[in-house]
Amino acid sequence: MTKSAQTVGEFLFDYLHSQCGIKTAFGIPGDFALPTFRWLERSKMKLITMTHEPSVGFAADAYARVNGMGVAIVTYCVGGLNMLNSIACAYAEKSPVLVISGGPSPKDREQNEDALIHHKVRTFDTQRHIYEEVTCANAVLLDPATAADEIVRVVETMKRECRPGYIEVPFDVVDMPITPPSNRSKLSPIVRDQEALDACIEEAVEFINKAKQPVILAGIELHRHNLTDNVIRIAEKFNLPIAADLLSKSVVRETHPLYIGVYSGAFSEQACREYIDNSDCVIMLGTFITDMFLGINTAQIKTKRSILITTEEARVGFHGYEKIQLQDVVERLESGAIADRGAFKNPCPAPEIKPLAKENRGKEITIEKFFNTLEHRMEEGSTLVCDTGDAVFGAMRVRTSKRRNFLADAYYLSMGFAVPGAIGAIAESNPQDSGRVFAIVGDGAFQMTGMEVSVAAKYKLAPVVFVLNNDGYGTQRYILDGSFNIINMWDYTKVTELMRYGRSVRVKTLGELDDTLVEIAKNKNEMYLVEVIIPRNDCSPALKSVGEGLAKLRNKEAHPDKA
């Protein structure tokens, strides 16, 4: 096959833009990657340059969760390995982020495998081997004749599996003419067992129809594979209630009349928990079975009274089925012979959001009251990007009015996600046309990646960053407390002064918080950093339950019987 007029770099970014719909990439340049950055700059895609590689991954991850796929571009080893944790997060939570790394020339490999070229760790393939653990497909583009096929293969695998991929582009190969892709780049068809699918659907429908209290648990894979609408139609057609787990929060619009809340065992609202724990048919579609989903082993979902269909597993009760696809099951259930349950009385409807009472304006801000006040003042369509700890657990009961208005690494729980995640979420949004992007982050996590507000300043973005200041690592205190949970206190309100961009406010009372939210709503194009003073001993009921549950597993002095 003859070479095209395009170079490797030109083809790469044209393909990602035209075939994958990616408009914005995130990265940090380095010498091995600079020629690749040059082709990105010449492409139709926009680049947002972050300040630290972990933030590149988190921003690209959040972008992927909103737009379907993200791109993170870094240099060889010192950049790629520094970003590893955030890509591990994306892999664990099935978020398709394409890692593009610069790399040494094929000539360097040919001349001397033992050559000590800067940034190299052990072998030329050390970085690629490490990324094999956190990606579903990877390639090193050593030959421009096969580069297009490799690019297509990696990206198509990412689309199929909804997980990160890795492409390493040598600094000189990126400028070489590329050979157009061939049929070899196509993936093998997915193997399906029609008889197994028929048997699975027959048993599932019978199971549902016999149940007195069936409920759908809508998992994150429904969003990743564009199946949410199908499941909502199933629920509406047969009057089946829907819940979500913390990772899939807002996959379904949380003001939907059939939606009963976030389920996470003992961390859930009581009415939601009791409904699902007492259900004789829990229909889990695209749901991750994690310790967070199970509420640290407090959930009462039993195999014999549940259906579980994911991209990796299919079972009805104790009966397992192989070679069955999530999409096929969902589509068949939608057209299946499920009986209409009749009118459904929601035991946990969206509560009425009440304004702050005058007599409470002078009171201190607790986590629960913070989220109540925020929920009252949030405009429709606003997006919450929450870090680990009370930023995410405190937000469990906030009902978002639109789908995918809640982003959090709610299973992997890596600190530092929210601020760069907000950059990724806001990259293509216009605050005049949609709600604001709110980053909710603890003071400890802010000290890890909070300086990415500098990126907002550079690109004139307008996130609203709430720093929940409870004087240290609040999550850990409920597991095992000690001096290691204390961090140095910053004057967070000086951050915008340092950046020469945005406004800073410190709020200590509910009235001050409410007034600040009113001001924020009037200044949609202004970035805000709001330091929220939270009592040191305050936390949400969910976080306290998480901490106490983990304490039984981690703190043998407090629970010697568990040692």
Distance between CA atoms of residues 97 and 61, nearest Å: 6
For residue 111, the model assigns a pLDDT of 76
| H or E stretch at 14 | helix 8-18
Distance between CA atoms of residues 178 and 14, nearest Å: 13
For residue 480, the model assigns a pLDDT of 79
Band of pLDDT at residue 540, cut at 50, 70 and 90: confident
Distance between CA atoms of residues 151 and 142, nearest Å: 12
Contacts 24+ apart (CB under 8 A), 206-209: 207/281, 207/307, 207/316, 207/317, 208/281, 208/283, 208/307, 208/338, 208/339, 209/337, 209/338, 209/339
Model confidence at 434: pLDDT above 70: no
Three-state DSSP at 262 gives strand
Tell me the pLDDT tens digit for each residue of 166-179.
999 999 999 999 99
Tell me the pLDDT tens digit for each residue of 294-335.
887 788 899 999 999 999 999 999 999 999 999 999 999 999
For residue 2, the model assigns a pLDDT of 64
**What is the distance in angstroms between the CA of the first residue and the CA of the last residue of the chain?**
65
Distance between CA atoms of residues 336 and 316, nearest Å: 16
Distance between CA atoms of residues 138 and 556, nearest Å: 42
Band of pLDDT at residue 462, cut at 50, 70 and 90: very high
DSSP 8-state code for residue 177 = B
- Across the beta sheet with 24-27, the strand order is 46-49, 24-27, 70-74, 97-103, 165-170, 137-140
Write down the pTM of the prediction: 0.94
Tell me the pLDDT tens digit for each residue of 41-99.
999 999 999 999 999 999 999 999 999 999 999 999 999 999 999 999 999 999 999 99
For residue 481, the model assigns a pLDDT of 79
**Higher per-residue confidence, 546 vs 278:** 278
Lowest mean pLDDT among 68-72, 444-448, 519-523, 554-558: 554-558
For residue 432, the model assigns a pLDDT of 52
Model confidence at 293: pLDDT above 90: no
The predicted model gives 418-447 an average pLDDT of 87
Pairing label, strands 406-408, 242-244: unpaired
The predicted model gives 388-401 an average pLDDT of 89
Band of pLDDT at residue 430, cut at 50, 70 and 90: low
Q: Write down all domains in the chain, each with its CATH number in brackets.
A: 8-185 (3.40.50.970), 194-334 (3.40.50.1220), 358-553 (3.40.50.970)
- Nearest in space to 55 (alpha carbons), one of 23, 79, 30: 79
For residue 158, the model assigns a pLDDT of 97
For residue 351, the model assigns a pLDDT of 84
* Side-chain half-sphere CA neighbours of 290 within 13 A: 20
For residue 14, the model assigns a pLDDT of 98
Decide: 463 and 527 in contact? Cβ < 8 Å: yes
Tokens of 87: 């890509």
For residue 353, the model assigns a pLDDT of 85
- Nearest in space to 509 (alpha carbons), one of 337, 369, 375: 369
* Residue 94: count of CB within 10 angstroms of its CB: 25
- Phi, psi for residue 104 in degrees, rounded to 5: -70, 165
Largest CA distance in the chain: 77
| H or E stretch at 528 | strand 528-533
Beta bridge partners, 318, equal: none
Distance between CA atoms of residues 527 and 519, nearest Å: 12
| H or E stretch at 518 | helix 510-522
Decide: 221 and 247 in contact? Cβ < 8 Å: no
Band of pLDDT at residue 186, cut at 50, 70 and 90: confident
Q: How many Å separate Cα 525 from the centre of its chain?
A: 25
| H or E stretch at 145 | helix 144-161
Helix residue spans in 162-240 (DSSP H): 194-210, 220-224, 228-238
Band of pLDDT at residue 558, cut at 50, 70 and 90: low
Q: How many Å separate Cα 539 from the centre of its chain?
A: 23
Distance between CA atoms of residues 93 and 221, nearest Å: 9
Model confidence at 563: pLDDT above 80: no
For residue 377, the model assigns a pLDDT of 93
Tell me the pLDDT tens digit for each residue of 131-156.
999 999 999 999 999 999 999 999 99
Residues 313, 314, 315, 321, CA torsion sign: negative
- Phi, psi for residue 277 in degrees, rounded to 5: -65, -30
Distance between CA atoms of residues 48 and 151, nearest Å: 22
The predicted model gives 270-279 an average pLDDT of 93
- Phi, psi for residue 504 in degrees, rounded to 5: -120, 145
- Across the beta sheet with 464-469, the strand order is 406-408, 383-386, 437-442, 464-469, 528-533, 503-507
Tell me the pLDDT tens digit for each residue of 95-127.
999 999 999 999 988 877 777 888 888 999 999
Distance between CA atoms of residues 257 and 554, nearest Å: 40
Distance between CA atoms of residues 374 and 85, nearest Å: 30
Lowest mean pLDDT among 18-22, 39-43, 123-127, 468-472: 468-472
For residue 287, the model assigns a pLDDT of 94
